């Protein structure tokens, strides 16, 4: 399969991640959508590095993305737990303490 097929899969996954973020009203879906988007970027990195002479750079980028995604997921879950504790809700629109 050529590079275009991988780029197409990556674009589709990116679109589905965006849909998960804006369609579902639940913080956990926002988190899952972010993971989908990061993974779409990873597919692109690895595909381009593979079709550009198997260089190491794209894979290294993908590994650092995975590292940052792990850190992000841990912090985001901690924030979700705190927000649920404070507002008794996991809808992003309910966290509106600063609104008058």
Partner 1 sequence: MENSSKIFYAALAVLVLGAHGAGLASAGAEGLAFGLFASLTLGGALVCIWERSVVRSAFSLMATFIGIAGLFLLLTADFLAMAQILIYVGGILALILFGVMLTPPDMEERKLPRVLSGLVLIGGGFAWVGMQVADSAHFATRAADASLEGVNNAKRIGVGFLAADQYVVAFELAAVVLTVALVAAVYIARRRRVDLEPAAAGELTGYDASNGGDA
Q: Which of 62, 61, 58 is nearest to 49 (CA)?
A: 58
Q: For residue 11, count other CB atoms closer than 10 A to its CB.
A: 13
Whether residue 20 contacts residue 33, with contact meaning beta carbons closer than 8 Å, is answered with yes
Residue 77 interacting with partner 1 (CB under 8 A): yes
Exposure of 98 by Cβ count < 10 A (0-12 exposed, 13-18 middle, 19+ buried)?
exposed
Question: Of 46 and 95, which CB lies nearer to partner 1 in the complex structure?
Answer: 46
Q: HSE of 60 in the Cβ direction (CA atoms, 13 Å)? A: 4
**Residue 98 C-beta: closest distance to partner 1, Å:** 19
Residues 4 to 63 in contact with partner 1, rule: CB under 8 A: 4-9, 11-20, 22-26, 28-29, 31-32, 35-36, 39, 42-43, 46-56, 59-60, 62-63
Chain residues that interact with partner 1, rule: CB under 8 A = 1-9, 11-20, 22-26, 28-29, 31-32, 35-36, 39, 42-43, 46-56, 59-60, 62-64, 66-75, 77-82, 84-85, 90-91
């Amino acid at each position: 399969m050529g590079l275009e097929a991988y780029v197409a899969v990556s674009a589709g996954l990116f679109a589905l991640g965006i849909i998960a973020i804006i369609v579902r009203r639940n913080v956990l879906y926002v988190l899952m959508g972010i993971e989908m988007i990061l993974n779409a970027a990873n597919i692109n990195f690895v595909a381009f590095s593979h079709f550009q002479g198997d260089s190491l750079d794209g894979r290294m980028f993908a590994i650092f993305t995975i590292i940052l995604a792990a850190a992000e997921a841990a912090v985001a879950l901690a924030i979700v737990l705190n927000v649920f504790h404070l507002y008794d809700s996991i809808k992003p629109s309910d966290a509106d303490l600063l609104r008058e």
